[in-house]
Amino acid sequence: MKQTFVAKLSFRLSILVASLCLITMGALFLPVEVFARVGGGQSYGGGSGSGGGDGGGAIVWILFQVVRLLLYLTIEYPVIGIPLDIIVIAGVIYYFMRRGSPTTQAFSSIITSTSQTQAQTGDRSEVVARSFAQLRKFDPNFSEIVFTDFCYALYAKAHEARGRGTGALDLFSPYLSEAARKSLLQRNPPGLQEKKRG
């Protein structure tokens, strides 16, 4: 029974929140003339400044009611109110952060360094593809996937070995030149020593 009560309550609250959102959106997008009262009381002056509604009061009233509803839900039903508070606060922060960021981007027909880098990367990938094609002429069973896996494994093992010192890194001499091994050892911080677990 409690679960049905919570389900009914959450359904009713979702309908209420959706209704409030629709009313708020409707009030924001209606023309100002809609807020003028027909008949006695306040009159709409058509811009003469002699009274008339500008819609500001209605928006303030709706915002007050939304804050009041959120406060009520937070106190009486915190399981529903607190997540709604978080969503509303996140939405307000997002709105103001987005509003403050520039939305226009400049267009330039000049090639920048990033586009040159992208062009070089594209050229480099073509060179690699041609190199693999030449390898396949000599070895029809050559697998680019196996070769790439080997390279990744070699990279990981070489960095693991550099932490253990020169002796461990020298085991990779068939695959790494002496200059590459020295370069890896220079990356170690001074006084690095391997600690054995035991």
Residue 166 lies in a domain: yes
Residue 112 lies in a domain: no
Contact criterion met (CB below 8 Å) for 24 and 66: yes
pLDDT higher than threshold 80 for residue 127: yes
- Shared domain for 11 and 64, answered yes or no, is yes
Instruction: Return the amino acid letter for 198.
Output: G
**Which residues contact residue 74 at a Cβ distance below 8 angstroms, ignoring those fewer than 6 apart?**
81, 82, 84, 85
Domain interval for residue 149: 140-190
The reported pTM is: 0.36
How many CB atoms neighbour CB 108 within 10 A? 7
- Shared domain for 90 and 167, answered yes or no, is no
Q: What's the mean per-residue pLDDT of the chain?
A: 76
- Shared domain for 7 and 95, answered yes or no, is yes
HSE-CB at 86 with a 13 A cutoff on CA atoms is: 5
Residue 29 lies in a domain: yes
pLDDT tens-digit map of 8-67: 777 777 887 777 777 776 666 666 555 555 555 555 555 554 455 556 678 888 888 888
Residue 196 lies in a domain: no
- Shared domain for 23 and 96, answered yes or no, is yes
Contact criterion met (CB below 8 Å) for 169 and 181: yes
- Shared domain for 7 and 72, answered yes or no, is yes
Structural domain total, the chain = 2
Task: Name the token pair of 12.
Answer: 């009713």
pLDDT tens-digit map of 143-174: 888 888 998 999 999 988 888 888 888 998 89
Provide the 8-state DSSP code for 47: S
In our burial notation (b when 16+ CB lie closer than 10 A, e otherwise), range 85-102 reads: eeeeeeeeeeeeeeeeee
